[in-house]
Chains A and B, each alone.
Chain A
Amino acid sequence: MIFTPKQLDENVNVSKSHPLIELLWLLGGLILLVGLIFFLLGVTADWAASKVPVKVENWIGQQALKEFPAEENLPLNLRLQSLIDSLPEDSLLHQYKFHIFLVDSVEINALALPGGNIIVYSGLLKQVQSENELAMILAHELGHFAHRDHLRGLGRGLGVAVAAALLFGGESAASSLVSKTLLTFQARYSQDQESAADQFGLDLLTKRYGHAGGATDFFSRLTEDAGSKLPYFLTSHPHPQVRIDALNERIKEKHFRIAKTQPLEADLLAFH
């Protein structure tokens, strides 16, 4: 046998396709897959959340209070109660036992937790200038309870984490990639919830004071240091300016009256 050395021109062992094109296909597939999971889980979680009786939620809230005892804030409670009193008779919110807490933190935020617990950060209270503004914020949180967003959020978050861990294993890189993509969907969904809660808050504020004055004041103050709208794509809340525009549109649509706001009363000024 004669050995003739020969250099092969073609390499059959390496695929010819461009890696960036492969990346595009795979990423597209991932977004589609995760979107589908999110949609299915979301529908299930929303359905389940709407079926949970308020009694069960109140019980959860009481268990949480036993674990983390905290003092309720009386001045805030008075404001909340007057808002609840102006709700219609058949409102779901009358079944709740609300507890409102003031937490010392520079963060400008308020939270609605399962079981009718509302947490207001002192950083937010320091920013508030009028009774109407505060009522708008509290009414917004009540809106979350009315739409049962806290339960839905809990259900979705839990479902997504469990699904990702089950499908790809808890420690795998694929699972963390999937949950990161999901967070983007979550942000979009949560922005919709915030807008819906804003609308609820506006209606309740108008019912309480007879006019919509002060509804957008708090957000206008936020806009000053909010900056560009672009980074808000990934956050849980919409850009303040977007919220103001949406509120103003509803005020116009419903012909709400705008009147002068009431300054904060002495019991709340003590926290400033």
Chain B
Amino acid sequence: MESLLQNFDLVIVLVLAILGYTVGSLAEKRHYRSIIKREKELLKMAVVTAEGSFPPGKVGSSALVSGSVVISIDYFKRLLAILRNIFGGRVKSYESLVDRARREAILRMKESARKQGANMIINMRLETATIGRSANKRKSVGSVEAIAYGTAIVMNKG
């Protein structure tokens, strides 16, 4: 017991890592399930990065739509990334984080376009930013923000 107290910081690191791993991977699995489900639902909403040109009279209205999301790292992912900082190589633990953020941002943009009755989104752009920079520094937690924006097009009927 005494040695547990003496190595208290080590115990905290261990507990946080285990907690981060279990809760983090559960949350990630749940998020991916929801992403895949909603992607299927919104499959009909076409999103393209092309500018798009339409014959006159075809477009009823157009509007800017955007979706953004912030996703935080967990302690386990951070630990893996810190270790990666030493040896170099792909920071695999952050890959799923960025992937989730981008897909979620696109989904939110599509949902907002559907609410406006749009048929498709053209000129879609994706941007990623960090919140709480230098996440691998001591005592700081990092998150990733992804924002997707584009032009929602409502077609004229007929």
The residues of A with any CB-CB pair to B shorter than 8 Å are 3, 5-7, 11, 13-15, 17, 19-20, 22-23, 26-27, 29-30, 33, 168, 171-174, 176-178, 180, 227, 230-232, 234-235
Residues of B within 8 A of A23 (CB): 76, 79-80, 83
In the complex, the answer to whether B93 meets A26 with C-beta atoms within 8 Å is no
Q: Is B54 an interface residue (CB 8 A)?
A: no
Of listed A171, A176, A177, A234, residue having the most chain B CB within 10 A? A177
In the complex, the answer to whether B3 meets A235 with C-beta atoms within 8 Å is yes
Contact of A174 among B39, B48, B82, B90 (CB under 8 A): B82
Q: Measured between C-beta atoms, what is the minimum distance from B37 to chain A in Å?
A: 11
Residues of A within 8 A of B96 (CB): 14
Interface of B is mostly: helix
Q: List 8 A-B contacts (CB under 8 A).
A: A3-B48, A5-B43, A7-B39, A15-B90, A168-B85, A168-B86, A234-B3, A235-B3
In the complex, the answer to whether B2 meets A19 with C-beta atoms within 8 Å is no
CA distance in complex: A51, B136 (Å): 41
Known: A22-B93, A234-B7. A13 touches B84 (CB 8 A): no
Q: Is B51 an interface residue (CB 8 A)?
A: no
Tell me the nearest residue of chain B to A177, going by C-beta. Answer: B82
In the complex, the answer to whether B80 meets A26 with C-beta atoms within 8 Å is yes
Q: Is B30 an interface residue (CB 8 A)?
A: no
Q: Measured between C-beta atoms, what is the minimum distance from B36 to chain A in Å?
A: 8
Other than the given A13-B98, A17-B92, A231-B2, 7 more pairs (CB < 8 A) read A26-B86, A27-B83, A171-B137, A172-B136, A172-B137, A174-B85, A230-B3
CA distance in complex: A163, B95 (Å): 31
Q: Measured between C-beta atoms, what is the minimum distance from B32 to chain A in Å?
A: 9
A-B contact count (CB 8 A): 84
CA distance in complex: A178, B3 (Å): 20
Residues of B within 8 A of A176 (CB): 138
- Contact residue range for chain B? 35 or more
In the complex, the answer to whether B137 meets A14 with C-beta atoms within 8 Å is no
In the complex, the answer to whether A22 meets B80 with C-beta atoms within 8 Å is yes
Residues of B within 8 A of A17 (CB): 92
Tell me the nearest residue of chain B to A4, going by C-beta. Answer: B46
Tell me the nearest residue of chain B to A34, going by C-beta. Answer: B86
Residues of A within 8 A of B83 (CB): 23, 26-27, 29-30, 174, 177
Q: Mark B12-49, 1 if CB is under 8 A from A, else 0.
A: 00000000010001000000000010011001101010
In the complex, the answer to whether B92 meets A22 with C-beta atoms within 8 Å is yes
Nearest 4 CB-CB pairings of A with B:
A231-B3, A26-B83, A15-B92, A5-B43
In the complex, the answer to whether A173 meets B99 with C-beta atoms within 8 Å is no
CA distance in complex: A43, B72 (Å): 44
Q: Is B64 an interface residue (CB 8 A)?
A: no
Residues of B within 8 A of A178 (CB): 86
Q: Measured between C-beta atoms, what is the minimum distance from B58 to chain A in Å?
A: 15
Tell me the nearest residue of chain B to A170, going by C-beta. Answer: B138
CA distance in complex: A33, B137 (Å): 21
